[in-house]
Amino acid sequence: MSRSLCSSASLRAALTGAALGLLLPLSPLVVAPVQAADLPTLPGAVVSLPWQDFRQLVQAGLAPAQPEDPAPQDFAIGRAAVTGRLEGESAVFAAKLRIDVLKAKGWVEVPLLPASYGLRSAKSGGQDAVVTVRNGWFVLFTNKRGPVDLELEFAAPAFEKAGQNSVSVQLPRAGAATLDFVVPGSAPLELSAPGATQLREVARGNERQISLLVPPSGNLSLSWRAKVQGEEAIAQDPRVYAEQQTLIGVAEGLLTGTTTVNYSILHKGINQLRLSLPADVTVLEVNGQGLRGWTVDEKGGARVLVADLNFAALGSYGLKVQFERPLPLGSTAVELPLPGVLGVERAKGWVGVDARSNLELAAGAAKEAQPVDVRELPAAITGQTDFPVLLGFRTRGAAPSIPLDIRQYPEVDMLVTIIDQLAATTVLTPDGRRMTQVVYAMRNNRAQYLRVKLPEGATPWSTFVGGRAVKPARAEDGRVLVPLARSQAAGGELARFAVEIVYVEDGDPPAGGKRGRFDAALPIADVPATAVAWSVFVPAEAKVKERKIVGSLRRVEAFTAVDAGGVTVREANAMVQQQAAATFAAEAQGKGVQPVRVSLPLDGKPIYFEKLLVLDEALTVGFDWTLKN
């Protein structure tokens, strides 16, 4: 084997790393370093490889890396350490969460707590965290990957009756979750926490600390009472408490409602829930976890909604009911249709009322309900409507009554069609004839026709809407009816389209072939226009005296920039014409019309006229002109 040429397979393999190493400055290859012991000792040798062999070496170095294995879910809550304390009718909690964000990039949404709870603060790294309400839950938004430490402070309702205390909370679902809850009193307690493990209590002075492991579901129902010396264990019946959140929408002829009942079920599970229904209320939909079915029982003159579950619910459970009731036209007083919760130890709730039409609402004297500022209503009520919530109430008891006074006002007619810009171009020929093109850049929401009164003696030649030829009609009063398209929505706004009319007029030839008179008017439309720009082209050899110009438009050197983008009327309408075909509705095109477009022979020198805010009024310009020798 020659020292100047080595092509054996063994030498190729040994030199692969070295050859690729030479490429590193020219490409982003990543190659494992080659050990000197792997190469043979050939002092002064020169290696020569065929191009095909060298290409194979390069391609081997460019082999794609194995793709990363994506995480099975976006996030995981590894642990949750929760401490709480009983304060009056509320249980105040502080939770420390360890959240591992597994998603490679982008934002992650982490559900934390039901929105019915009172959230005092949410902090991460000592700073306020990005927490908002979404679908009835407080959620955390983060784009940070890896571990996130979150601290929450919140409050949930607590209940007490006949010496029995209870609190039901839905905590974040974590791999390992603990709760340390402190209650006043030094006496030993009888505890109950279905689903929880390692339930125990310890004395802390004049307080008792209850410690437990939270169930994997996060739903915890904790109850306690002082233990009586020598008391025998007895079977306990279910104890049910409820908080109700109701939104009533008032519209013309209809009241619509959505009520969500959050139950706290203690000691023993139940598989049936019951609500009382006001008269004339129609139940539209009932939703709940494990709901087997629902019926409306009307025996004995009472109307009761019965919801059957396919399991015995224990702890926290939510039931959502949607309903409606007709509202007689002209009604000025009405009782809000509020479903009542049956079979519970204690019920309380919130009611919000919004107006979905031109209505004025005022509350009468309420029973078992107290008016509150709408800002005090839970986000679960205000977050489910786009209409302003006008009235708010806090209720106690299973049968609150809230009368409502309604005043309805007539609606004000608003503008549904408008011409944003009107651009007109008139060409005056040396023999006195006139040819005019009028382009309306307009938005239309409902009008079927644009009614245009052409100048007397004008002959229309072509009419286009949205870049397509249409066949206009003529009304009894002589106006031309141009069929319109309906504007398409673009980013919440109505898109523009162009209406173009071309017509010609006869005129008197200049006297003696030199002196002429220009008296012209633009068509009068039945739609207001925000701006009118008129370009009049006179023969190049014609002379116009500025002092002799009369009419309702003013002479300008350049058109005013009136478009939101800062362009002139002419430029705006040119852009409208280019985009018009995409906004034209098929029903606006006249059948059998051939799209023949008439182009103006622009020749001569232009004179510019404009007027802002034009209603149903004449648009005229007049002047004398003289042909130069």
List pLDDT tens digits, range 594-622. 556 777 777 788 999 999 988 888 999 99
Most confident by average pLDDT, 63-72, 507-516, 520-529: 520-529
| pLDDT confidence of residue 339 | 92
Angle between helices 51-61 and 9-23 (to 10 degrees): 60
> In the numeric block, which tokens belong to residue 184?
């006043």
Domains of the chain: total? 4
Q: What is the DSSP letter of 48?
A: -
Statement to judge: residues 393 and 422 lie in one domain: no
Q: Which residues pair with 348 in a beta bridge?
A: 243, 396
Secondary structure class of 7 (helix, strand, coil):
coil
Q: Which amino acid is at 501?
A: I
In a domain, 26, yes or no: yes
Looking up residue 88, the CATH number of its domain turns out to be 2.60.40.1730
- Do the strands 529-538 and 417-428 form a parallel or antiparallel pair, or are they unpaired? parallel
d(CA 224, CA 239): 13
Give the confidence band of 582 by pLDDT, cuts at 50, 70, 90. very low
Give the confidence band of 249 by pLDDT, cuts at 50, 70, 90. very high
- Tokens 């309903």 correspond to 323
| Domain end marker among 198, 226, 254 | 226
Statement to judge: residues 403 and 422 lie in one domain: no
Please name the helix (run of DSSP H) or strand (run of DSSP E) that holds residue 10, with its range, or none: helix 9-23
> What residues contact 45, with CB distance under 8 A and at least 6 apart?
3, 4, 6
Q: What is the pLDDT of residues 521-550, one digit of tens each?
A: 999 999 999 899 999 998 888 888 888 899
In a 13 Å sphere around the CA of 499, the CA atoms on its Cβ side amount to: 30
Question: Concatenated DSSP letters for 461-509?
Answer: EEEEETTEE---EE-TTS-EEEE-PPPPEETTEEPPEEEEEEEEE--PP
| pLDDT confidence of residue 233 | 42
Q: What is the pLDDT of residues 132-154, one digit of tens each?
A: 998 888 999 998 888 999 999 99
d(CA 577, CA 583): 10
| pLDDT confidence of residue 64 | 58
Can you give the residue range of the structural domain that contains 604?
Answer: 417-627
Q: For residue 398, which of 352, 351, 347, 345 has the smallest C-alpha distance? A: 347
Secondary structure class of 532 (helix, strand, coil):
strand
Statement to judge: residues 102 and 132 lie in one domain: yes
| pLDDT confidence of residue 590 | 42
In a domain, 234, yes or no: no
d(CA 530, CA 527): 10
Statement to judge: residues 182 and 266 lie in one domain: no
Q: For the chain, percent helix, then strand, then coil, each to nearest 5?
A: 10, 50, 40
Statement to judge: residues 113 and 44 lie in one domain: no
In a 13 Å sphere around the CA of 110, the CA atoms on its Cβ side amount to: 32
d(CA 537, CA 543): 12
d(CA 339, CA 3): 99
In a domain, 231, yes or no: no
Statement to judge: residues 335 and 421 lie in one domain: no
Statement to judge: residues 425 and 521 lie in one domain: yes
d(CA 281, CA 305): 11
Helices (H) and strands (E) in the chain, counts: 4, 44
Statement to judge: residues 165 and 83 lie in one domain: yes
Q: For residue 520, which of 498, 497, 504, 496 has the smallest C-alpha distance? A: 504
CA dist 203 → 166, 181, 200, 221, 397 (Å): 19, 12, 11, 21, 36
In a domain, 485, yes or no: yes
> In the numeric block, which tokens belong to residue 224?
């306690």
pLDDT surpassing 90 at residue 305: yes
> What residues contact 348, with CB distance under 8 A and at least 6 apart?
157, 242, 243, 244, 394, 395, 396, 397
Identify the weakest region by mean pLDDT among 123-132, 484-493, 560-569: 560-569
d(CA 339, CA 480): 59
In a domain, 3, yes or no: no
> In the numeric block, which tokens belong to residue 6?
């080595």
Distance, first Cα to last Cα, the chain = 102
| pTM beyond 0.85, yes or no | no
Statement to judge: residues 85 and 166 lie in one domain: yes
Q: Is 4 left (phi over 0), alpha (psi -120 to 50) or beta?
A: alpha
d(CA 561, CA 333): 53
> In the numeric block, which tokens belong to residue 188?
């030993």
In a domain, 494, yes or no: yes
Given a contact cutoff of 8 angstroms between Cβ atoms, the answer to whether 179 and 84 are in contact is yes
Give the confidence band of 25 by pLDDT, cuts at 50, 70, 90. very low
In a domain, 66, yes or no: no
- Other beta carbons less than 10 A from residue 220's beta carbon: 23
Identify the weakest region by mean pLDDT among 438-452, 485-499, 526-540: 485-499
Statement to judge: residues 340 and 429 lie in one domain: no
Q: Rounded to the nearest 5°, which phi and psi values hold at 87?
A: -130, 95
| pLDDT confidence of residue 192 | 87
Q: Which residues pair with 273 in a beta bridge?
A: 307
| pLDDT confidence of residue 362 | 84
Please write down the HEC assignment for all residues of 442-473: EEECCCCEEEEECCCCCEEEEEEECCEECCCE
Give the confidence band of 67 by pLDDT, cuts at 50, 70, 90. low
Statement to judge: residues 254 and 174 lie in one domain: no
Q: Which amino acid is at 21?
A: G
Given a contact cutoff of 8 angstroms between Cβ atoms, the answer to whether 511 and 608 are in contact is no
Question: Concatenated DSSP letters for 253-320?
Answer: TEEEEEEEEEEEEEEEEEEEEEEE--TT-EEEEEEETTEEEEEEE-GGG--EEEEEEEEEEEEEEEEE
- Tokens 């009554």 correspond to 401
In a domain, 69, yes or no: no
Statement to judge: residues 350 and 484 lie in one domain: no
Q: Rounded to the nearest 5°, which phi and psi values hold at 171?
A: -95, 160
Q: For residue 389, which of 372, 365, 403, 364 has the smallest C-alpha distance? A: 372
Looking up residue 563, the CATH number of its domain turns out to be 2.60.40
Given a contact cutoff of 8 angstroms between Cβ atoms, the answer to whether 574 and 565 are in contact is no
Mean pLDDT (whole number) for 41-70: 73
Mean pLDDT (whole number) for 224-229: 72
Give the confidence band of 296 by pLDDT, cuts at 50, 70, 90. very high
d(CA 331, CA 255): 12
| pLDDT confidence of residue 30 | 41
Q: Which residues pair with 210 in a beta bridge?
A: 181, 201
d(CA 599, CA 435): 10
**How many residues does this entry show for the chain?**
629
d(CA 225, CA 164): 5
Q: Which residues pair with 381 in a beta bridge?
A: none
